[in-house]
Structure 1
Amino acid sequence: MAYNESHLSKTQSAQGVSDLGASKVLRNTYALLSMTLLFSAVTAGAAMAMGIERINILVFFIGAYGLMFLVHKTANSATGLLATFAFTGFMGFTLGPILSAYLTLPNGAELIMTALAMTGLTFVGLSAVALVTKKDFSFLSNFLMAGAIVLILAMVAGMVFNIAALSLMVSAGFVLFSSAAILYQTSEMVHRAGETNYILATITLYVSIYNLFISLLSLLGIMSND
């Protein structure tokens, strides 16, 4: 009897420590995510003010993946924070020309605000599902891996063959992929089953939000014949 009570006490204590750790990761992640999103908005505005019309695709891939690699290499040090802002700032800067192009359309500002609102509501809704239900969404890992491969191949095919319908499918696929990634990452932080580094968690959520916004903006543009 005494053994059972002692074992129960240790289990509850361990659970309490785990919950506190998960809460800390969540708190730090959302704080850093908020700052990086704001910083991206500033750099996007700077690109628009500078009149940048387009970003070379090679520059984009080298900058994006190079800085993401740097974030992963420095995630366990203070330098990781600088790398995180460098990556998100660069991504925001590349968003500037896209927003400028949409603003030239008759309803461009409306499309941007609609996509932004839908992105925000989707992120809040999916995060709430993971946080409130505390359901384990780790089963989505295989879907995300397969989805990433399919989307990359579809993007390459779209660039080679320039098929409008394929672009629509890719945008819709990224909406689903990004939504699943948000559920998965939030679940990982809640259960501490995988991600305990708030810098890496922030980057994952940031990329999901970025892709979600771009994809929704593309879909809205297609549906409005723009």
Structure 2
Amino acid sequence: MERTIVSSRKASLLSSHRVLRNTYCLLAMTLACSATTALLSASFRLPALSPWLFLVGAYGLMFLTHYTANSAYGILAVFALTSFIGYSLGPIVGSLLHSGASDILITALGGTSLVFFGCSAYVLTTQKELSFMGGLLTAGAIVLLISMIGNAFWQLPAFSLGISALFILVSSGTILLKTSEIIHGGETNYIRATVSLYVSLYNIFYSLLHLLSARRSD
């Protein structure tokens, strides 16, 4: 009986390590894909997407990725999603580079990297189980949604900056929670895990760009 329990624990641990390794590997490739498409979009000065077109495209591709996560098509869907988001970042990146504000871009990249590695290192080092954060993050996502809808009508600059700051907090919490789920067996699909981490990184990066650009404008 004890041998069975030990064997089961070892199998679970190996499975978690495999999911974590595959997730980080796929995440690195998707980030490289996004960076490439963003630079190409910036270099050719391709037109920016309208907010509604971006939302429809991004959420549609995220739904497709989750729907195909258990098949080989899930990999294609992940790269389609990250290429699309990379394209959408191209005009922003191009604008910063052509206006001589490359320091904002570098700072946002560095800040996003620090948040990701800091959150991941904390969970991997402490091995804490953070499932209790699920409800808090859901509440945070609801607050964000309501705030974004409200800001679409009010157009208040200070309120918009507050939304960006809240995005960073919620996305950082998502990285903590998702990493914890992976190492404790709560998430067994590396494609879904990759998309969750990627979207969190995108939200942090974009929010940092917004905050830093607003500071430069002031």
TM bracket, shorter-chain basis: over 0.9
Quick one: which of 205, 210, 213 aligns to 1:218?
A: 210
> In structure 2, what is the Cα distance between the partners aligned to 1:155 and 1:97?
22
Asked whether the equivalents of residues 126 and 183 of structure 1 are also in contact (C-alpha less than 8 Å), the reply is yes
Question: Which residue does the alignment assign to 1:4?
Answer: none
> What amino acid is aligned across from residue 199 of structure 1 in structure 2?
I
Deviations along 1:88-139, one digit per CA (max 9) or x if unpaired, are 1101110111112223444x10010011011011101100111111101111
Asked whether the equivalents of residues 43 and 94 of structure 2 are also in contact (C-alpha less than 8 Å), the reply is no
> In structure 1, what is the Cα distance between the partners aligned to 2:145 and 2:9?
40
Larger Rg: 1
Asked whether the equivalents of residues 53 and 100 of structure 1 are also in contact (C-alpha less than 8 Å), the reply is no
Quick one: which of 183, 189, 203 aligns to 2:195?
A: 203
> In structure 1, what is the Cα distance between the partners aligned to 2:54 and 2:85?
8
Displacement of 1:53:
4.0
Question: Which residue does the alignment assign to 2:169?
Answer: 176
Residue 51 (structure 2) pairs with residue 60 (structure 1)? no
Question: Which residue does the alignment assign to 1:138?
Answer: 131
Question: Which residue does the alignment assign to 2:140?
Answer: 147
Residue 98 (structure 2) pairs with residue 75 (structure 1)? no
> In structure 2, what is the Cα distance between the partners aligned to 1:148 and 1:97?
27
Residue 89 (structure 2) pairs with residue 117 (structure 1)? no
> In structure 1, what is the Cα distance between the partners aligned to 2:129 and 2:37?
36
> In structure 2, what is the Cα distance between the partners aligned to 1:80 and 1:221?
35
> What amino acid is aligned across from residue 13 of structure 1 in structure 2?
S
> What amino acid is aligned across from residue 130 of structure 2 in structure 1?
F
SS at match of 1:224: helix
> In structure 1, what is the Cα distance between the partners aligned to 2:56 and 2:114?
31
> In structure 2, what is the Cα distance between the partners aligned to 1:209 and 1:8?
42
Deviations along 1:23-82, one digit per CA (max 9) or x if unpaired, are 000000000000000000011011112212421122111110111111011100000000
Deviations along 1:133-188, one digit per CA (max 9) or x if unpaired, are 11011111101111111101111111211101101100000010110000000000
Number of residue pairs matched?
Answer: 218
Q: Which runs of 4+ in 1 moved over 3 A?
A: none
Unaligned runs of 5+ in 1: 1-6
TM-score (norm 2): 0.96
> In structure 2, what is the Cα distance between the partners aligned to 1:50 and 1:161?
34
User: What percentage of aligned pairs have identical amino acids?
Assistant: 47
Provide the aligned C-alpha RMSD in A.
Answer: 1.2
